[in-house]
Amino acid sequence: MMKTIVVDQAKSFAYAEAPIPAAGGKWVTLKVKHCAICGSDRSFWLYYGGQGFTPGHEFAGYIEDGGEYGFPKGMKVVAAEFNSCGECEYCKKGEEQRCAQMMVDNPGVSAPGAYGPYVRVRGDYVIPMPEDMPTKLGAIVEPVAVSLHGVKFLGIQPGEDVLVSGNGPIGIYAAAAAKLLGAGKVIMTGRSQSRVDFCNTFDFVDICLSVKDPEYDEKIKALTPAGGFKHIIDCVGVDDYDGLLGLAASGATVVMLGMHAPKPCFNAMSLYLKEATLKTGLYFSWADFKQAFEMVRDNQEMFLSTITSVIPAEPEAIQQAFVKLFDSGTNDECKIVIEHKD
Ligand SMILES: [Zn+2]
Ligand SMILES: [Zn+2]
């Protein structure tokens, strides 16, 4: 048995006893070292309504039981929380994110996740980490993969400018991925001033503007290339989609990456008149995950600067982090990573 951490009721974390998940078949067991808190974990915290659940789908750690794969105990790894079938039309095309089996037994989503000390993952979705790469960086490969997946839909050519709307972690990782894929200027917008200031410290962001700045309209116009942006990625940065589409060039690609609440509306004529393409990015493929891993491995300082706190794997500490991130309205954090004891 292990002492794990669960959402035991709405907006509450507690310790609970649970069996250590067993390796076998396609599954191996990891001893979690780091697990990042994701905005999507918030839904488990807010809308809890059943047996205790352990979130955590952004993680890295050590092989505890390599099962049939024979990975040695203690091997440092990052793993995708994937459980795709490998046989359907989508899996065969490398679009695992569309596989119907993906969300079944998916650790941290529909199976116990890495807020607990051990997690069960698919052995075929494990990547060994080099010794010089901190496990906390392994924990952010997953959200970087989400952002990279959306950014790849933009089809950025070297030197072309990109507008990233929204400066939460997914927007920040989208900006980083765009720059690493050869974008020219990366212009970013966000709501909270402290987060805007934070984003202006990144080398991969040319400038981040606050949409609440009284001079925002003039400032963004001055930064918009002649004819508009060919590439716009929305990471839940605006409610005003028409305003965003107004900045798009003729023939632009706009990627929607993230869920708006309650529902974003826009005038379809804004797309039509520009022959613009609206794409959506949801989740990522295994190829995206491997590419994101390489990006993080090869740009460690860049990605370390996005981790603002490391907290102990204890219910009270996680609770405080959730209140700060999701319930305080004055969030000056970016990525918070939970650390398990060795
Ligand atoms: Zn996530
Ligand atoms: Zn499949």
pLDDT at 50: 74
Domain count across the chain: 2
How do residues 268-323 score in pLDDT, each as one tens digit? 998 999 999 999 999 999 999 999 999 999 999 999 999 999 999 999 999 999 99
pLDDT at 212: 92
13 domain-assigned: yes
Structure tokens at 123: 């052995």
75 domain-assigned: yes
pLDDT at 138: 98
CATH number at residue 204: 3.40.50.720
CA of 274 to the centre of ligand 1 (A): 33
Confidence of residue 263 (pLDDT cuts 50, 70, 90): confident
Domain that holds residue 167: 147-280
End-to-end CA distance of the chain: 17
CA of 85 to the centre of ligand 2 (A): 4
CA of 92 to the centre of ligand 2 (A): 7
The verdict on 136 and 179 lying in the same domain is no
CA of 176 to the centre of ligand 1 (A): 17
Q: Please report which ligand is nearest the Cα atom of 170.
A: 1
The verdict on 25 and 112 lying in the same domain is yes
The pLDDT of residue 260 is above 90: no
CA of 140 to the centre of ligand 1 (A): 9
How do residues 174-206 score in pLDDT, each as one tens digit? 999 999 999 999 999 998 889 999 999 999 999
Q: Please report which ligand is nearest the Cα atom of 95.
A: 2
Q: Please report which ligand is nearest the Cα atom of 146.
A: 1
Confidence of residue 165 (pLDDT cuts 50, 70, 90): very high
294 domain-assigned: no
The verdict on 85 and 123 lying in the same domain is yes
CA of 153 to the centre of ligand 2 (A): 21
131 domain-assigned: yes
The verdict on 59 and 168 lying in the same domain is no
CA of 62 to the centre of ligand 2 (A): 27
